[in-house]
Amino acid sequence: MGREEQIIQERIRKLNELRKKGINPYPHKFDKKQSAAEALKSKLGTKIKTAGRLVTKRDIGKIAFANLQDSSEKIQIVLQKGETPEKVFELFKKYVDSGDFVGVEGKVIKTKTGQISILVNNLDMLSKSIKPLPEKWHGLQDKEDRYRKRYLDLVMSPEVKKVFEKRAKILEAIREFLIKKGFEEVETPYLQSVYGGAAAKPFKTHLNALKMDLFLAISPELYLKRLIVGGYEKVFTIARNFRNEGIDRWHNPEFTMMEIYQAYADYNDMMELFEGIYEYVAKKVNKSTKVKFRGKTIDFKAPWKRMTMAEMVKKHAKIDIHKMDDKKLVDFCNKNKIAFKEKSWGWLVQAIFEHFCEDKIEQPTFILDHPLETTPLCKTHRDEKLCSLIERFEPFCMGAELGNAYTELNDPILQRKLLEGQQKMLKKGDEEANPYDEDFVNAVEIGLPPTGGLGLGIDRMIMLLTEQDSIRDVILFPFMREK
């Protein structure tokens, strides 16, 4: 029998003995009056009634100590012969283990070492733990285990919980910023009969009641634009997106995205909005626009740097894309061993940008004016000399894309043509192309006003503002491969 199995058997023995003594080890309720944090701030002698998990236990004869941890803080409890009733003292010594949830009553004291503690005069077993916690000084060292067993990660590493507390504050600050600017929060469906709004492979499911296939949303974009058609002028949603793609430090198949749409606006307005959100949230949550990330100091103070994709390629790849045709770009890609999606000017430029430029962008920077081929939902550039480009930008920081935004395409005839092209690409085997959405095209035909739209990756924003290296560190339950 292994060590853990011995511990489990011993705890089950204690559990059975408690029941024989008429003590319910899993009661229905406990009337908790104060948190551990409140107890720590209380005056000496104050009566306390609190509860939490015991994360450590020390028994040294006539006195015993334990650390009780709840969602607010950790506080030491003390049981002492002559001060704690004998029955309570024996219960603690014989039947209570680290990992158990207990309720305690007592008064606030200061020990000889100056530690604020609770001198216990009553203790209730609230939940007997069967399995032991990881070793006190080692915790969960294996990152895979940390993500798989987040419940243990939170118990053993309270600093992990602080990341998710900050996540909640970031979301609250985003909503506060947008509502102050007159935006309304809305909800869009996660189950969709026709997916769209992003270049991504979807997850497919089936609705038995109607005997029809459905897809998990890859983006809320097309639904939010329907709302602009319907008369909303400023809307946003913070939603889960599901994309059947690779997993790495920046990607999880299920992630959180915010999308915003504003009537009578364009991509220039969206740039100001995007950098404004980051600056506001950083100040609100971190009290500074500056953060440390992977050894670099990043400053989110507006305005951010703006560069066109052509300028960025010229800087890092040393070529002028506007002076090169498809053949020259293909030759350049082959010479530099750059994989590309298609032998079209736009996709070649996109591949060159990704290869030479993305990982060079450290400080927050807007990359403007992307090739026409890269999305079917964006207006072409208003400068007729740049008819091969669209009014699209992507913000980058530390080599990662933070979002995506357009001056939205509202020409129904062109929109129909481009989405029909997407349908053809999908049939030819392009898994990231979108199916044709007749209802969306119909909505645009009813009339979509000039509109600016943006998507902002919430998880990546939280990674940067909490200085976490992986998206798995800011999602409570990231997707994990089966063991």
**Per-residue confidence (pLDDT) for residue 136, from 0 to 100:** 53
**Within-domain flag for 327:** no
Kindly state whether residues 10 and 56 are assigned to the same domain: yes
Q: Which of 221, 214, 216 is nearest to 197 (CA)?
A: 221
CA angle, residues 278, 367, 276, in degrees to nearest 5: 20
pLDDT in tens, 224-256: 999 999 999 999 999 999 999 989 999 999 999
Kindly state whether residues 163 and 120 are assigned to the same domain: no
Kindly state whether residues 116 and 184 are assigned to the same domain: no
**Within-domain flag for 322:** no
**Per-residue confidence (pLDDT) for residue 186, from 0 to 100:** 98
Report the DSSP beta bridge partners of residue 105.
Answer: 49, 122
Kindly state whether residues 405 and 449 are assigned to the same domain: yes
**Within-domain flag for 204:** yes
Domain that holds residue 258: 158-304+363-473
Q: Which two three-digit tokens encode residue 130? A: 């069967």
Amino acid at 361: I
- The enclosing domain of 125 has a CATH number of 2.40.50.140
Kindly state whether residues 288 and 207 are assigned to the same domain: yes
Question: What's the number of domains the chain is made of?
Answer: 2
**Within-domain flag for 11:** yes
Max CA pair span of the chain: 91
**Within-domain flag for 429:** yes
Q: Which two three-digit tokens encode residue 90? A: 């024996």
pLDDT < 50 stretches in the chain: 137
Q: Which of 362, 323, 320, 377 is nearest to 464 (CA)?
A: 362
Q: Which of 233, 163, 232, 229 is nearest to 461 (CA)?
A: 163
**Within-domain flag for 341:** no
Rounded Cα distance, 263 and 276, in Å: 18
**Per-residue confidence (pLDDT) for residue 142, from 0 to 100:** 72
Question: The dihedral of CA 133, 134, 135, 139: what is its sign?
Answer: negative
Q: Which two three-digit tokens encode residue 456? A: 């902002």
Preceding amide of 303 cis, omega within 30: yes
Kindly state whether residues 254 and 372 are assigned to the same domain: yes
Contact 312/362 with Cβ under 8 angstroms? no
- Report the Cα–Cα distance between both ends of the chain, in Å, rounded: 23
**Within-domain flag for 450:** yes
Question: The dihedral of CA 372, 373, 374, 378: what is its sign?
Answer: positive
Q: How many CB atoms sit inside 10 A of residue 234's CB? A: 17
**Per-residue confidence (pLDDT) for residue 158, from 0 to 100:** 85
Kindly state whether residues 91 and 42 are assigned to the same domain: yes
**Within-domain flag for 109:** yes
Rounded Cα distance, 348 and 245, in Å: 22
Kindly state whether residues 127 and 168 are assigned to the same domain: no
**Per-residue confidence (pLDDT) for residue 141, from 0 to 100:** 63
Final residue belonging to a domain, choices 76, 98, 133: 133
pLDDT in tens, 97-107: 999 999 999 99
Rounded Cα distance, 382 and 371, in Å: 14
Burial label for 394, CB within 10 Å (0-12, 13-18, 19+), is: buried
Kindly state whether residues 296 and 163 are assigned to the same domain: yes
Rounded Cα distance, 251 and 247, in Å: 5
CA–CA distance from 38 to each of 49, 329, 390 (Å)? 11, 66, 56
Backbone angles phi, psi at 282, to 5 degrees: -60, -45
Rounded Cα distance, 396 and 456, in Å: 11
Backbone angles phi, psi at 474, to 5 degrees: -120, 5
- The enclosing domain of 263 has a CATH number of 3.30.930.10
* Chain-centroid distance, C-alpha 247: 14
Kindly state whether residues 31 and 80 are assigned to the same domain: yes
**Per-residue confidence (pLDDT) for residue 171, from 0 to 100:** 98
